[in-house]
Structure 1
Amino acid sequence: MTEARFDETIHAPVRLRICGLLNKADRLDFAVLRDTLGISDATLSKHIKTLADSHYVTISKSSSAKRTDARRVTWLSLSPTGRSAFAAHVRALQDIADSRA
């Protein structure tokens, strides 16, 4: 079982949602993540940068056969460090919710 550890980086509401969505998938397209969260490109970029700077998220780019222009698709995924940190944070939240006053 993962040891509980509250993580301030992950705990911000948008970052918590990003990690939750990425935890369910191998990787997600930036645009799909943005649309699912209902936030702007700039807001998502800011939060992804914070998570990437903490080594929680990895970013890769690839060309897309569906596009007719030269733009590339940005793929996001939780790193092994990010998955571990997210699991520990969720465990900490469960401990908080289960604690008796």
Structure 2
Amino acid sequence: MDELDPVIHAQSRLRIVAVLAALDAGESVTFPRAQELLDMTAGNLSTHLRKLEDAAYVEVTKTHSGRTPVTYLALTTRGRRAFEDYTDSLRTLLGER
């Protein structure tokens, strides 16, 4: 069995990636909506997003709606593949394959 991806394996990052993986490819979610879905503080979410962004698993896009800043989060193709590999490794570990 391949080693579980340590970037994704941390509980908070696994939850973030799972939420983003539930979106269709190319879709994104706003930072406040992700924060609400994950029940995480802004600081905690930001810290984990930085690690996922550094690994090129998550894309963070900052824009404006009028004068209000809006941050969108999306799983990259690389992040989606990493999550699929991670879940495949878990299935193997659990004897489901």
Normalised-by-shorter TM-score class? 0.7 to 0.9
* Correspondence for 1:43: 44
**In structure 2, distance between residues paired with 1:32 and 1:97:** 32
* Correspondence for 2:8: 10
Kept in 2, the 8 Å contact 1:34–1:40? The answer is: yes
User: Normalising by the residue count of structure 1, what TM-score does the alignment of the two structures yield?
Assistant: 0.84
CA drift of 1:62 comes to 2.2
Unmatched 5+ stretches in structure 2: none
Count of residues in correspondence between the two structures: 92
Aligned pairs for 1:22-101 (under 5 A) are 22-25=20-23, 26-64=27-65, 70-98=67-95
**2:50 aligned partner, one-letter code:** K
How well do the aligned residues superpose, as a CA RMSD in angstroms?
Answer: 1.5
CA drift of 1:16 comes to 0.5
**In structure 2, distance between residues paired with 1:60 and 1:52:** 11
CA drift of 1:6 comes to 1.8
**In structure 1, distance between residues paired with 2:68 and 2:44:** 20
**In structure 2, distance between residues paired with 1:5 and 1:73:** 36
Kept in 2, the 8 Å contact 1:5–1:88? The answer is: no
Identity across matched positions, percent:
32
Deviations, residues 35-67 of structure 1 (Å, cap 9, x unaligned) = 1111100000000000000000001122226xx
Unmatched 5+ stretches in structure 1: none
**1:17 aligned partner, one-letter code:** R
User: Normalising by the residue count of structure 2, what TM-score does the alignment of the two structures yield?
Assistant: 0.87
Q: Secondary structure at the match of 2:74?
A: strand
CA drift of 1:5 comes to 5.7
